[in-house]
């Protein structure tokens, strides 16, 4: 499949923000893509070469691309950087510069999507001495055979910056229309994706074997399942009403949610964002091996503990585990307990369709077959009154938990779903604002006085799932220590961009802009109306969005969360309405 074919479609897509039009363009693209190539095209338009859980990265940085542009265009790297700061997109920089260069070489080989994918795949596997030069030559070989316009998209594929606003949901809509002519079949694709976490695989099976084969995609060991998520409510009374008056309540521990896959010979641990984190938790893997139960997938909350008192430590202490070196020393300083709360697979069978109460009984059987005290069943109680629930919440907080999870006793485990079968109530539920918010950093303003050389305030955003964009909601400057600000300043430097990101909506001018990547937790006194912020714009009052009053950083940098996992715009609007007692 020639690159020129896809470039034409992508150029047309860049001219629209309409989800319907984007879907139609994708339908055209998928219909024109050979079935044996569809998975690779899906990966490339998502800015990856394999599913996230495989953890494969190309290792192509902006510096390398600027070096290539400089080499093939005979302009200095400093001029290329200057152009980058003017335009804000390296793909467009390459196109602009190369259009002004007289073509001196004939195309040696057609640039096809197959060739791009194979080159990227080869680059991702190159390591060791001299690897950067080899990567540079391979990447440059694509440039030498491409038009300036094609170079633009090769760069965007490599950096994952297509700037088209294509969400996974849009891709699934287009796949359903392209291969079944019925958008309703998207639900089948979504179910398959939720248990396989691989949209490329789903698309290839659909294109080659049909919808029936997609329906046959089931849970497999060592392929992470997209986690089920909880809704939030304001009070214990609301939670019980949503649970039909009787519910199972569990401690909500301030740790990292993990999915543990185990056979007799192998253990792998995946984070909530589907990252393989086994190497960060060798002690968790060791404890899991003691479970005398074949072929299981369990979910747990890993929490750091004080090595002397065994009291729970804050989530941020657990993030020391994310360092690449001295893991043995870190394990000694930050030991963990593993609090298991669900089972999804056992003895070769999918258990997600079992009622919660049956999964819990099976889980008891599984955990009692472990001889490692680091592994235990999360505390739980069945409640039928508000008083019982509030008593359990108080007990959870006394035990160092951040709140409770309220679960419908007959509910199935629905991978990838967020619904009221699970409800979270945090310790802040009695305050003005019903919950903390997970927000992504999109901009920063420089500090003064003690904060010179750091950011004085950070601009934060919620996620608009429908449009696949991030909308500004507040600026936060309180709750940070100097050390955390210094750490954030350094980390945010990796994601700094010259202009506001194309998927960011904000009216404010900031000193710095960032690719939406780093997620932090915020608490505030209340949600307010504001004409300055884009979150919830026009949803409550014409010309007004939503913001947070007295926002404060809770000292939690959520390395376990992707930007798409943060508080959604619809959640924020609902929280405001409940706060103001506005009927939905």
Altogether, the residues listed in the chain come to a count of 584
The terminus-to-terminus CA distance of the chain in angstroms comes to 50
Helix axes 90-99, 62-73, angle to 10 degrees: 0
Q: Which residues contact 17 (CB under 8 A, 6 or more apart)?
A: 165, 467
Q: Is 471 among the catalytic positions?
A: no
Helix (H, G, I), strand (E, B) or coil at 86: helix
Query: Do 258 and 280 form a contact (C-beta atoms < 8 A)?
Result: no
Query: Do 458 and 521 form a contact (C-beta atoms < 8 A)?
Result: no
Tokens for 354, please give them.
Answer: 């079992």
Instruction: For 568-580, give one letter per residue: b (16+ CB within 10 A) or e.
Output: bbebbbbbbebee
Q: List Cα–Cα distances, 363 to 246, 297, 401, 422, in angstroms.
A: 21, 11, 21, 18
Strands 375-377 and 349-350 turn out to be unpaired
Tokens for 512, please give them.
Answer: 């710095």
Detail the DSSP E strand segments found in 151-234. 229-232
Rounded to whole angstroms, the Cα distance separating 525 from 534 reads: 19
Question: Tokens 């639900």 belong to which residue?
Answer: 187
DSSP string, 218-257: ---TTSPPPPPEEEE-SSHHHHHHHTTT-EEEEEE-SSEE
Rounded to whole angstroms, the Cα distance separating 443 from 510 reads: 6
Q: Which residues contact 90 (CB under 8 A, 6 or more apart)?
A: 62, 65, 66, 69, 84, 155, 159, 161
Strands 469-476 and 504-505 turn out to be parallel
Tell me which of 135, 242, 252, 578 is the catalytic residue.
Answer: 252
Tally of CB atoms within 10 A around 480: 23
Helix axes 199-209, 168-180, angle to 10 degrees: 0
Residues labelled catalytic: 252
């Amino acid at each position: 499949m020639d690159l020129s074919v896809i470039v034409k479609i992508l150029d047309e897509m860049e001219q629209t923000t309409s989800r319907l039009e984007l879907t139609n363009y994708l339908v055209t693209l998928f219909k024109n893509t050979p079935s044996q190539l569809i998975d690779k095209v899906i990966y490339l338009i998502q800015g990856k070469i394999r599913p996230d859980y495989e953890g494969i990265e190309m290792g192509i940085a902006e510096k390398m691309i600027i070096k290539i542009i400089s080499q093939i265009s005979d302009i200095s790297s400093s001029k290329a950087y200057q152009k980058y700061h003017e335009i804000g997109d390296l793909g467009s920089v390459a196109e602009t510069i190369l259009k002004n260069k007289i073509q001196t070489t004939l195309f040696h080989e057609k640039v096809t999507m197959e060739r791009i994918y194979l080159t990227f795949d080869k680059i991702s596997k190159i390591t060791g001495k001299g690897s950067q030069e080899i990567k540079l030559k391979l990447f440059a070989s694509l440039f030498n055979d491409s038009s300036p316009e094609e170079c633009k998209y090769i760069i965007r594929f490599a950096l994952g910056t297509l700037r088209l606003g294509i969400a996974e949901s849009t891709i699934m809509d287009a796949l359903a229309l392209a291969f079944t002519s019925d958008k309703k079949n998207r639900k089948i694709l979504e179910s398959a994706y939720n248990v396989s976490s691989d949209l490329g695989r789903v698309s290839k099976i659909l294109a080659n074997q049909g919808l029936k084969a997609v329906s046959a995609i089931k849970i497999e060991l060592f392929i992470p399942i997209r986690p089920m998520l909880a809704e939030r409510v304001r009070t214990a009374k609301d939670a019980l009403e949503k649970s039909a008056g009787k519910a199972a309540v569990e401690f909500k521990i301030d740790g990292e949610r993990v999915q543990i896959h185990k056979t007799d010979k192998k253990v792998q641990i995946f984070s909530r964002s589907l990252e393989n984190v086994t190497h960060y938790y060798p002690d968790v893997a060791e404890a899991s091996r003691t479970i005398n139960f074949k072929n299981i997938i369990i979910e747990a909350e890993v929490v750091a503990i004080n090595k002397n008192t065994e009291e729970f430590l804050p989530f941020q202490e657990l993030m020391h585990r994310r360092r690449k070196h001295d893991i043995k020393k870190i394990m000694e300083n930050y030991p963990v307990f593993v609090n298991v709360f669900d089972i999804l697979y056992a003895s070769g069978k999918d258990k997600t369709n079992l009622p919660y109460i049956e999964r819990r009984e099976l889980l008891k059987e599984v955990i009692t077959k472990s001889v490692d005290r680091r592994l235990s069943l999360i505390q739980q109680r069945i409640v039928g009154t508000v008083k019982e629930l509030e008593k359990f919440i108080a007990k959870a907080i006394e035990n160092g938990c951040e709140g409770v999870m309220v679960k419908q006793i007959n509910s199935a485990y629905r991978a990838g779903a967020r619904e009221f079968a699970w409800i979270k109530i945090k310790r802040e539920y009695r305050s003005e604002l019903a919950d903390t918010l997970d927000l992504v950093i999109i901009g920063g303003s420089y500090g003064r006085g003690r904060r010179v050389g750091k950011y004085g305030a950070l601009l934060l955003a919620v996620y608009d799932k429908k449009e696949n964009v991030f909308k500004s909601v507040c600026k936060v400057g309180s709750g940070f220590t100097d050390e955390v600000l210094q750490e954030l300043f350094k980390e945010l430097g990796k994601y700094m961009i010259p202009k506001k990101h194309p998927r960011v909506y904000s009216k404010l001018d900031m000193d710095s802009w960032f690719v939406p990547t780093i997620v932090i937790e915020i608490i505030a006194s209340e949600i307010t109306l504001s004409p300055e912020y884009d979150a919830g714009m026009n949803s409550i009052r014409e010309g007004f969005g939503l913001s947070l009053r007295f926002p404060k950083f809770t000292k939690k940098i959520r390395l376990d969360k992707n930007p798409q996992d943060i508080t959604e715009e619809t959640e924020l609007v609902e929280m405001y309405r409940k706060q103001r007692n506005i009927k939905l």
